[in-house]
Structure 1
């Protein structure tokens, strides 16, 4: 574990850009945690792909996702923002989802205004619900949170792609008034649009940096100057993993062995990352008890 006991709220109060990698399985979590990021982002796309081998298209259930939230948050003290999709149903479902994510240890929940079934924010075919319906969801999420103000509610709007930036900004304003702590305007399509989002709000803002996605990538300094509080990179890890596995497995298929393929981690170092050092230390401490049987 990184040993980071700070809350997202206190991190945002520092008024500097945070950068969070997308974690999607326990290995990606442990690698990111070892590197000491201030916060992490549980990517819905990557988690659904890793856990179920399916696209992020509204197929994963609340039970699927809260299971992963608990596993990720239980393995680190670093704050994790966890993707809660649409809340998995109506208002009662939203309350149930918020309660479950809080129990599982999430530092914040991301809720979005897409119709069900939802889709990844940088893919085609997304449609949004009426703004008032999302406002109601945020109000329920806020009431469900109660006095646990360190648990943040992140409101995401996917309206930009089909309704334009003005509608997305208008929705974000309504979601803020309803009680959202952090705003996430998905899929702006130029740096000028990113800058407009930054000018429009004086609250923590998320920029979604998807490599190969719909939004161009400014530098971290540019995003900070635009007014963003957090840049998430949800796809970097699983895209890198997919590329690395394809290369490694292609070598194995072609050569019939792994001799000469050195683009891999050290086995002992990786074993320590996963936690084998504790196993070895435990065995050494209690070996004498085994010999007494």
Structure 2
């Protein structure tokens, strides 16, 4: 029997294989996911940095674990119907831990999971001082991930951070070995030049994700140009997070300065808009439907 999740995953695989530079915004909770879905984005990325920053108020240095990622995935899956790519960091351990991670996140509602080749505890890909595990160890993790999935359209994204550690050529060599191991999508993190961006799809024969970190190491490049170059996914993992932080600073700064905050749509979302985004009319209808006679 074909389920809703299997149809969604098959459709997402088709989007990835089309290599049309699909914009992939990051979500750090269910509300940010609803905002992105309401704006018409076709898929979402559950960002480990965003969950860490917004839930713990801490930097992206490996402080969250599988249980927290799975809980956020479940909540966001309940809030939106879009394909979900989940950042699972290093897989939270060795190949056996990766197996458990994939099984857990697939059940939680993920449609693709990203695994990286950093040593534990990992760091944000645009921080200094990263380390990477051996290529062979990461290949074993990818094999475990591929074997663990139940749905063949559940995609494995293999990320390498080797560019900053061992150089661009070493990262390309790793990426091609990750493809041979069964990764569906490649993600070469923290590339630093336009020349490198332009060469990636010539050097690695697999769908690729590019991560545009606002203020990070990779040059900001327009979606149209990235589509022309053959990228499948254009990730803005923390655009929503950074804009949310700025919005809070603006609104709370105005409250602190003036001692009041009116319903000004240039500063805050209107009350009615907030209720629309959380689908309050649906719950009002359900309340009436199930009310006692």
Q: What TM-score does the superposition give when structure 2 sets the normalisation length?
A: 0.93
2:89 to 85, 89, 104: 85
Unaligned regions of 5+ residues in structure 1, if any?
none
The answer to whether the aligner puts 1:17 opposite 2:9 as a matched pair is no
2:178 to 161, 175, 178: 175
1:46 to 29, 46, 50: 50
The answer to whether the aligner puts 1:56 opposite 2:60 as a matched pair is yes
Please say if residues 199 and 227 of structure 1, whose CA atoms lie closer than 8 Å, have aligned partners that are also in contact.
no
| Off by >6 Å, runs of 4+ in structure 1 | none
The answer to whether the aligner puts 1:114 opposite 2:100 as a matched pair is no
Query: Which residues in structure 2 correspond to 1:20-169 (within 5 Å)?
Result: 20-146=24-150, 148-169=151-172
SS at match of 1:155: strand
Please say if residues 46 and 85 of structure 2, whose CA atoms lie closer than 8 Å, have aligned partners that are also in contact.
yes
In the alignment of these two chains, the number of paired residues is: 286
Tell me the alpha carbon deviations over residues 211-258 of structure 1, each in whole angstroms, 9 at most, x when there is no partner.
111000111111112121110101110100001100110111111111
The answer to whether the aligner puts 1:274 opposite 2:278 as a matched pair is yes
Deviates more, 1:263-272 or 1:157-166: 263-272
Q: CA deviation at 1:192?
A: 0.6
Separation in structure 2 between the aligned mates of residue 108 and residue 209 of structure 1, nearest angstrom: 19
Q: What residue is the counterpart of 1:232 in the other structure? A: 235
Q: What TM-score does the superposition give when structure 1 sets the normalisation length?
A: 0.93
Please say if residues 40 and 79 of structure 1, whose CA atoms lie closer than 8 Å, have aligned partners that are also in contact.
yes
Tell me the alpha carbon deviations over residues 127-163 of structure 1, each in whole angstroms, 9 at most, x when there is no partner.
10111110110011111125x1110000000011121
Separation in structure 2 between the aligned mates of residue 127 and residue 8 of structure 1, nearest angstrom: 32
Q: Which has the higher contact order (CA 8 A, sep 6+)?
A: 2
The answer to whether the aligner puts 1:250 opposite 2:249 as a matched pair is no
Q: What residue is the counterpart of 1:210 in the other structure? A: 213
